């Protein structure tokens, strides 16, 4: 009888621990398990340069969403990025999405520069105005080594 | 005589009709870029006349009204009609001035047209590679159909957007979007243009 009670308590603790670990994993992984009403936009980039699922989407430096799946378009070999945005963020179709870096070697994130065309983007639409990640190594090597003829 | 006149007039309208002009955007753009480069590197052209010549060359294929509006982004709506009109003019002058100077001397760059892709219906991107002073970099033109013609509304050099670059600057010049800030932004543009 006593043994059973101990086992029950131990079991409860283990279960509680597992639930907490699961919750923490979601929090740290930035998964939005309990948030509803977000909407999705897509953006195609020639190069996402290390952007990953769960990277931040920022507008005026403020986090307004996260990057969902990143897939490769088999036809064009461009990266198709899913942006999961908070419902109150309304964007026009001339919004520019750019892949940026925190500092020179920091994490990658998607920065949004809102437009003013008056034509709103709806759930599932694609942002066509995009700037790919700037290849810093490429630029530095161009400056440092110059061209073939110079 | 009358027949010739009719043929001449109708051929003029035909060349300006939507379907006709939109057939070959790459060819049209490459011809426009060629003539821009001719103007920029024309050593016989006095520096003062370069900007005027340039404006005449590119106004057919570049929509400055759209570029200016997109550069302002959300802030376009806070300008009144008169200010919007003045802004388009000032911004056009600013762009033409900045691009007509700084090209004196040196070799004329070589342009290689590398492709065209559709962004969505009525919107395309034409890509090119420019070789200048020994280094090659990508220059992409984004175009839309406006009044039956393909018109450039953004240029990306090394993946950096011209519209985006100016939009960021205008956002920081108009943090609150107050009339005072609008006036001071227009004033900055006026001063910048009259300096040159």
Q: Band of the pLDDT at A124, cuts 50, 70, 90? A: very high
Least Cα separation, residue A78 to chain B (angstroms): 12
Q: Is A136 helix (H, G, I), strand (E, B) or coil?
A: helix
Contact A129 B171 (CB under 8 A): no
Q: Is A38 on the interface with B (CB under 8 A)?
A: no
Query: Average pLDDT of A25-34?
Result: 62
- Among B40-44, B70-74, B122-126, the least confident range: B40-44
Query: Average pLDDT of B131-153?
Result: 90
pLDDT at residue B195 in the model: 81
Q: Band of the pLDDT at B107, cuts 50, 70, 90? A: confident
> Is the per-residue pLDDT at A102 higher than 50?
yes
Nearest-5° Cα angle at B67, B65 to B69: 70
Whether pTM > 0.80 for this model: the answer is no
> Is the per-residue pLDDT at B156 higher than 60?
yes
Q: Hey, what long-range contacts does B137-140 have (CB within 8 A, 24 or more apart)?
A: B137/A142, B138/B114, B139/B111
Least Cα separation, residue B160 to chain A (angstroms): 6
Contact A114 B163 (CB under 8 A): no
Helical (H) or strand (E) element with A5: helix A2-28
The yes/no answer to whether this complex scores an ipTM above 0.90 is no
**Mean pLDDT estimate for chain A:** 86
* Per-residue pLDDT tens over the stretch A5-29: 999 999 999 999 999 998 888 776 6
């Amino acid at each position: 009888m006593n043994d059973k009670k101990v086992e029950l308590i131990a079991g409860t603790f283990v279960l509680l621990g597992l639930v907490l670990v699961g919750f923490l994993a979601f929090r740290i992984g930035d998964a939005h398990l309990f948030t509803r009403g977000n909407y999705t936009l897509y953006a195609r980039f020639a190069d996402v340069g290390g952007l990953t699922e769960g990277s931040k989407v920022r507008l005026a430096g403020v986090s307004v969403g996260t990057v969902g799946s990143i897939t490769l378009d088999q036809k064009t070999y461009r990266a198709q990025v899913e942006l999961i945005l908070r419902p109150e963020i309304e964007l026009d179709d001339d919004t520019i999405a750019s892949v940026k870096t925190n500092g020179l070697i920091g994490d990658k994130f998607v920065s949004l520069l809102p437009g003013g065309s008056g034509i709103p983007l709806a759930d599932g639409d694609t942002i066509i105005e995009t700037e790919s990640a700037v290849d810093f190594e490429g630029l530095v090597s161009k400056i440092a080594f110059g061209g073939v003829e110079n | 005589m009358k027949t010739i006149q009719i043929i001449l007039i109708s051929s003029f309208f035909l060349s300006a009709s939507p379907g006709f002009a939109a057939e070959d955007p790459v060819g049209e753009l490459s011809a426009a870029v060629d003539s821009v480069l001719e103007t920029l590197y024309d050593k016989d052209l006095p520096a003062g006349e370069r900007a005027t010549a340039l404006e005449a060359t590119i106004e057919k294929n570049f929509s400055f009204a759209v570029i200016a509006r997109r550069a302002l982004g959300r802030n376009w709506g806070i300008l009144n009609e008169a200010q919007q009109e003045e802004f388009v003019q000032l911004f056009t002058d600013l762009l033409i001035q900045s691009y007509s100077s700084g090209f004196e001397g040196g070799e004329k760059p070589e342009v290689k047209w590398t492709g065209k892709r559709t962004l969505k219906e009525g919107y395309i991107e034409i890509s090119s590679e420019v070789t200048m002073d020994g280094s090659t970099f990508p220059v992409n033109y984004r175009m839309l159909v406006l009044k039956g013609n393909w018109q450039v509304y953004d240029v990306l050099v090394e993946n950096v957007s011209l519209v985006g670059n100016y939009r960021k600057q205008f956002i920081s010049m108009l943090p609150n979007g107050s009339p005072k800030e609008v006036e001071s932004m227009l004033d900055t543009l006026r001063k910048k243009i009259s300096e040159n």
